[in-house]
Amino acid sequence: MMGDNVSQFRQRKLNGHIKPTSVADVELLVTLASHHKGIKLHAVSTGYNWGLGSKEDVNDERVLITMAGLNNIRDINLEQGYAVIEPGVSQGQLATKLAGEQWMINLTASSAHSSLLGNSLDRGVGLRHQRIKDLLGLEVLLSNGRKVKVGWWPSSQTTPIYPVGVGPSLLHLFTQSNFGIITAGVFKLLPKPDASKVVKIEFEQPFLREAIDELKYWSTQGLNSGVLKVYDNRANETYGCDGKKFTVHLCIDGMEVDVENKCSLIESLIEKSHIFNNCQIKNSGEYSQDTVSNLVSAAHNGDSSQNDILLHATLGENHDKVDTSEFGWIFFLPLLPFSGESITKAYQIFEDIYQKTKIRCGATINALDESVIDLVVAIRFNKNSSEAERAHTALDMLYDMFHAAGFRPYRLDVDHSDWSRHLLSDPQTREIIASFKEAIDPTHLFSNDRYQG
């Protein structure tokens, strides 16, 4: 076994743990494993998939391959705006490399030490947008030893960046799948805006429905840039901030005059509002005593310096000690329609779960666009108390009750992989996915069937 994970999901038995440091190492490993019947390989990047299982596989008796040693930034192109990176490259590593340049990356709110590619392959969400939008190309090692490149890759000629290519696109066949081992990827860089400000406003829970509907209207009118974020009172408390109110964080980017006009409009809207109050506007990169505000302000502008401060405030540990922290951390990640009605239903579910388990769920409401919300539901608990069992009971209830309400998760933890079979629009697509697996990995060398059932 590999040791504890922060969520206290079941520890799987391992048949080995290998830490390659080069693509050649991985190629040799795949060749050797393919000649021994029954070996199953489970590859992770840095293994910091906290809240969903960390390094754990779905199944027992796998060989764990930690790819953190493949940490080369192979290329950065500051004319077209892309970077070619390996799985062990952290978001902080690339962000630091770009410091002082006119380009930045789409950072998540997780640790600066988390893998850029690993999170993108699991369809994580950054402060700008969902990271699948940043993924341009992948280098994939197949079970037969072939190494192929899918999506867009730089060549000797300067070609337009167009990841879907011509014909059937293979790029996203390798996201949330177990068809091969990813050894590198092309990642999109974002141009830094001329001006950037962060707006923070507050509201109280009785106004939740009205607030979300108003924020949706703002979003449909293009008032904010990137992911509009709302931290609820429980999330604010968990992250070391004032736990009395909901806080909204909007980022406003663009030409200087446009940013100033939008900020003035927001101030005017808040003055007239009976919902929102305490409007604060700062330049991106300006800090206060609020750890959440500091993270949003920095990360929105491609600076990862505040990420691990928030992590430490949450669990009291640095990134390399999270899994052994005395506190547990579980995530549940459903998608909801962007509406006050949907969010109100979600919070009624939270209340029902609390009445039955005495576990309080905290949530961050991430508006991916004007129609979809990524609801990051977090449960923080004491591992060494009765809270642990109740937290996992609450997680089971979240899956059941959100699914019954029509709200489906877009990422799964290792103990709920069986839910993948309930989340397809058409059950027949499982057969198509299975046929892809048979064609690409006929010996089933690669494990981790979190999304294939």
Range of the domain at 303: 195-414
Please name every residue paired with 341 in a beta bridge, in sequence order, or none if there are none: none
In this prediction, residue 3 has a pLDDT band, given cuts at 50, 70 and 90, of: confident
| pLDDT tens-digit readout, 406-441 | 999 999 999 999 999 888 889 898 899 999 999 999
Residue 107 belongs to a domain with what CATH number? Answer: 3.30.465.10
Complete DSSP assignment for 339-374: SHHHHHHHHHHHHHHHHHH----EEEEEE-SSSEEE
Residues 46 and 107 in one domain: no
267 membership: H or E segment, kind and range = helix 256-272
pLDDT at 453: 58
Residues 119 and 211 in one domain: no
What's the average model confidence in pLDDT over 105-130?
97
| pLDDT tens-digit readout, 365-382 | 999 999 999 999 999 999
Q: What is the mean pLDDT of the chain?
A: 95
Q: Which of 32-46, 150-164, 284-298 has the lowest mean pLDDT?
A: 284-298
In this prediction, residue 349 has a pLDDT band, given cuts at 50, 70 and 90, of: very high
pLDDT at 302: 95
- Please state the length of the chain: 453
Query: Where are any strands of DSSP class E within 97-244?
Result: 103-104, 135-141, 147-151, 181-188, 190-191, 195-203, 225-231
Rounded-to-integer distance, Cα 73 and Cα 83, Å: 7
pLDDT at 427: 86
- Residue 270, pLDDT > 90, answer yes
pLDDT at 162: 95
Residues 373 and 292 in one domain: yes
Query: Are the C-beta atoms of residues 276 and 248 closer than 8 Å to each other?
Result: yes
Whole-model pTM?
A: 0.95
Tell me if 91 is assigned to some domain. Answer: yes
377 membership: H or E segment, kind and range = strand 372-382
pLDDT at 237: 83
Residues 207 and 101 in one domain: no
Boundary residue ending a domain (35, 67, 99): 67
Please name every residue paired with 248 in a beta bridge, in sequence order, or none if there are none: 201, 230
Residues 219 and 82 in one domain: no
Tell me if 202 is assigned to some domain. Answer: yes
Residues 252 and 367 in one domain: yes
Residues 186 and 280 in one domain: no
In this prediction, residue 384 has a pLDDT band, given cuts at 50, 70 and 90, of: very high
Q: At what angle do helices 291-299 and 307-315 cross, to 10 degrees?
A: 150
- Residue 450, pLDDT > 90, answer no
| pLDDT tens-digit readout, 14-46 | 999 999 999 999 999 999 999 998 899 999 999
pLDDT at 449: 73
Q: Which of 86-90, 235-239, 248-252, 336-340 has the lowest mean pLDDT?
A: 235-239
In this prediction, residue 10 has a pLDDT band, given cuts at 50, 70 and 90, of: very high
Tell me if 8 is assigned to some domain. Answer: no
Boundary residue ending a domain (163, 191, 219): 191
